[in-house]
A and B are shown apart, each in its own frame.
Chain A
């Protein structure tokens, strides 16, 4: 039997809107994944460290304050510096379409805008995580 997919969900920065991330955490758990949710107000360093320590298969970042470009990119940059660039990073929140190319360039792959179903996110994770 294969092990469960481990997901780190995190809220970088000062944004306290955690409705979305909590709903996603629960949906992923209900789908049988192992979810670690960091809570609000995490620095990119804390998130990268937690991901490495917990040995997660994927990181999901949530930001609704408009600071996503800065904060998400910082997470991927730190992961790279720590030699953990292989952990895929996805993100969601109040993200205008025109920011998507910048985020993709910074290494954030799945980008989910308002209205995304938990089903889509679940599918994305299942397709993008290769359990070793």
Chain B
């Protein structure tokens, strides 16, 4: 009651706490988050007394957006439930999309196979064995027409995980919409289009950084005029985290990449307020519950400051960090896979408490293969249970003001800013990646994490403790090798039947644009309309831009 908190705390430490500690030690000498932030035993108002509420937290829907990007958050509308899906052929994936939409999913998210992501057609020698494996195979506009058959593109928003070939897939999406009678102005969705994290963590790059940045800023400029509701990039920490980074590194490297994109766009002549509100982000929801929630809140606050102070953005929406979240694939275990349902539920809850705009929940069987229909349904149901049953969506930023969480949010912000300053001093994210700095930092964290598991300093339930003898998991999704043959035949047919003269014309026009400085996107749209394949378009660009090789 009353009294001075500091004095009372000291008294408590000397008496009640001390007595308890003399009786039995705590489990660890020091408790740390993944980012090596020391978690205190107890947080009190003393830990938050340097917070200036209006300045640091403010109100939801207003700068610096610490408490959320909308004023009513999920009281207005739940986050978009968006399961990343795609496998085998456009025909099969179209069925899965319809199933997911029937089950109450509210947006689509396309997973492409690796050849599509790296600019090879299904009949390319390097595509052997990979066709339709990690996502759907798309060679030409024909496949894209099948993929979205019967799905109204004016009603559904679509996210596409596509980077070095993002321009091609966006062009195909625009062309399919046209065929459905939907204008590009009405399209809603996202392309990942984040090449920097491909060099640093995910690996689906094609071209060297400079031409890659040109393609990206061309897309920004094109969409601003033609597809104004499209999120032109999803600056991704997800894969950086999957590659082994800590929470702070995930945040810092993502925002450093974001800074590089904004700088490139400004350098290309765009006004910051003309494109900034279409930038979106993509984060990972990992295991450490409070660290993750704090990370999402710190992300909004930091980005808001960067946009306003560093880039002098004037529009409020330019400073607003909107993000998609996926639960952490790397935390799924092959051992006792049903336990993954529980892991995913906690991770998803952290994303919701952190104020995500859309969410993908992983399926329990993903340490073995792409998810089965049953597993995906449980994953989607997990989101629906959080939304409809838990009550957490009924308040805006319900954990705001919690001493521990606010302190963690500040710590993460500070540590991330240290990294960003370091990267700035190296000359920015592109330089830091070229020098291998970001990759080394991620690799170091990944190795430490694994060592902790092997030393049992970190317990993974079912993996290094609480193991059982178990039968191999059954009913996992298999991609038949016939998919590759089928896909090649389809491609051959399109190649036979298209207008060859038109094809030669659009490809040579594309090459001319690539050699010059005009925006590339209109030429790519023309090429896909003429059924030029993704591989053919990518080959033209490879010839002009060259290919990136990892050191």
Contacts and interface: CB of A to CB of B under 8 A. Distances in A.
Contacts of B145: none
13 contacts: A13-B126, A13-B129, A14-B115, A15-B130, A17-B202, A19-B242, A23-B447, A70-B129, A95-B368, A97-B368, A114-B332, A117-B454, A117-B464
B160 to A, nearest CB: 18
B368 A67 contact: no
Nearest to B448: A23
B270 interface: no
A113 interface: yes
A16 interface: yes
B446 interface: yes
Interface stretch (A39-47, A54-62, A78-86): A39-47
Interface stretch (B95-103, B254-262, B471-479, B507-515): B471-479
Question: In which size bucket is the chain A interface?
Answer: 20 to 34
Contact of B129 (A19, A27, A71, A98): A71
Interface string B321-358: 00000000010111100000000000000000000000
Closest 10 CB pairs of A and B: A16-B203, A70-B129, A97-B472, A14-B114, A67-B129, A66-B133, A114-B334, A114-B367, A96-B368, A67-B130
Contact of A18 (B126, B203, B370): B203
Contacts of A26: 443, 447
A115 B481 CA distance: 27
A69 to B, nearest CB: 8
A40 B198 CA distance: 12
B550 interface: yes
A128 interface: no
Interface in A47-104: 65-67, 69-71, 74, 94-98
Interface of A: 13-19, 22-23, 26-27, 39-41, 43, 65-67, 69-71, 74, 94-98, 113-115, 117-119
A19 B243 contact: yes
B473 to A, nearest CB: 7
Nearest to B334: A114
Contacts of B460: 115
Contacts of A40: 203, 550
Given A15-B114, A65-B114, A115 B333 contact: yes
Nearest to B330: A19
Contacts of B333: 114-115
Contacts of A22: 443, 446-447
Contacts of A19: 242-244, 330, 446
Contact of B454 (A15, A67, A118): A118
Given A13-B130, A16-B204, 9 more contacts: A14-B130, A15-B114, A15-B134, A18-B243, A19-B242, A43-B126, A113-B334, A117-B454, A117-B464
Interface of B: 114-115, 117-118, 120, 125-130, 133-134, 198, 202-204, 242-244, 330, 332-335, 367-370, 443, 446-447, 450, 453-454, 460, 463-464, 472-473, 476, 479, 481, 550
A89 B243 CA distance: 25
Contacts, number: 100
Nearest to B471: A97
B476 A14 contact: no
A67 B370 CA distance: 12
Contacts of A94: 367-369
Contacts of B367: 94, 114-115
B130 A96 contact: no
Majority-rule SS of A interface residues: loop
B338 to A, nearest CB: 15
Nearest to A13: B130
Contacts of A113: 334
Contacts of A95: 368
B454 A119 contact: yes
A114 B366 CA distance: 10
Nearest to B117: A14
A119 B476 CA distance: 28
Contacts of B198: 16
Contacts of A65: 114, 130, 133-134
Nearest to B205: A16
Nearest to A23: B450
Looking at A14, A69, A70, A114, the one whose CB has the most chain B CB atoms below 10 A away is A14
Nearest to A71: B129
Contact of A41 (B125, B133, B203): B203
A106 to B, nearest CB: 13
A2 to B, nearest CB: 26
A96 B129 contact: no
Given A19-B330, A118-B450, A96 B369 contact: yes
Contact of A115 (B118, B133, B244, B334): B334
Given A40-B203, A115-B335, A96 B446 contact: no
Contacts of A43: 125-126
A85 to B, nearest CB: 21
A114 B330 CA distance: 10
A66 B369 contact: yes
Contacts of A67: 129-130, 133
